[in-house]
Chains A and B, each alone.
Chain A
Amino acid sequence: TQLLEQSPQFLSIQEGENLTVYCNSSSVFSSLQWYRQEPGEGPVLLVTVVTGGEVKKLKRLTFQFGDARKDSSLHITAAQTGDTGLYLCAGAGGGTSYGKLTFGQGTILTVHP
């Protein structure tokens, strides 16, 4: 069974601060996705990283895939109240796991004005 450990589980910061969320596993993933979920809605895909060592930027969000494709991080610069939500990482494996994603437990981010 592939497991993804997300940390921290809760994050409460002031507007303007920086933060990093981590997603770690002992398994190798062929790709890793990050999703953001707002209360009462379904998760929405933010980014997919595929290559080991890959870095992708989405405005103030920076996503990194570890060299060994076992871990990933999400860094937010100068957080805003609109960044508040649940952040989920999900890994895709090959072989018998094709077509399925393994989700981390999620990080609840609260940005205070």
Chain B
Amino acid sequence: NAGVTQTPKFRVLKTGQSMTLLCAQDMNHEYMYWYRQDPGMGLRLIHYSVGEGTTAKGEVPDGYNVSRLKKQNFLLGLESAAPSQTSVYFCATTKIYRENYEQYFGPGTRLTVT
């Protein structure tokens, strides 16, 4: 039972390059999320999904695209990387029952754009 896994763990890109971050979960949760974490700014939601085949914009979606073709996978794409996208990216899933939210995070991907 791996929980939430992310690949890769580290990546360095040059401005204008593209890449895809992969998130996989084995908890059978419907909700999945992509966040970015920057110093002093907490976690900011990029995109999220409420189930297979669905995606929705979060707080900071510009420059990113996502896909949820399978329930267990959530992909985050950067079509043309910019230095402002240098950050640590976290994938998460959420178990929701009544008003209780239990969010489970992956280990993160550290991305540097030069």
Contact = CB atoms under 8 A, between A and B. Distances in A.
Interface in B7-44: 31, 33, 35, 40-44
Interface stretch (B65-73, B74-82, B99-107): B99-107
B43 A43 contact: yes
A50 B97 CA distance: 12
A9 B40 CA distance: 8
Interface in B56-114: 58, 90, 92, 94, 96, 98-108
A50 B100 contact: yes
Interface string A25-44: 00000110101000011111
A80 to B, nearest CB: 23
B40 A104 contact: no
B34 to A, nearest CB: 12
A105 interface: yes
Contacts of B94: 99, 101
Interface residues of A, number: 24
B108 to A, nearest CB: 6
Contacts of A9: 40
Nearest to A29: B99
A42 B99 contact: no
A48 interface: yes
Given A9-B40, A99-B94, A45 B103 contact: yes
B43 A88 contact: yes
A45 B102 contact: yes
Nearest to A99: B31
Contacts of A33: 101-103
Contact of A42 (B40, B41, B50, B106): B106
A101 B101 contact: yes
A5 B8 CA distance: 32
Contacts of B104: 45
23 contacts: A31-B100, A31-B101, A33-B101, A40-B107, A41-B107, A41-B108, A42-B90, A43-B105, A45-B102, A45-B104, A48-B100, A48-B101, A50-B99, A88-B43, A92-B99, A99-B48, A99-B50, A100-B58, A101-B45, A101-B103, A103-B35, A103-B42, A106-B42
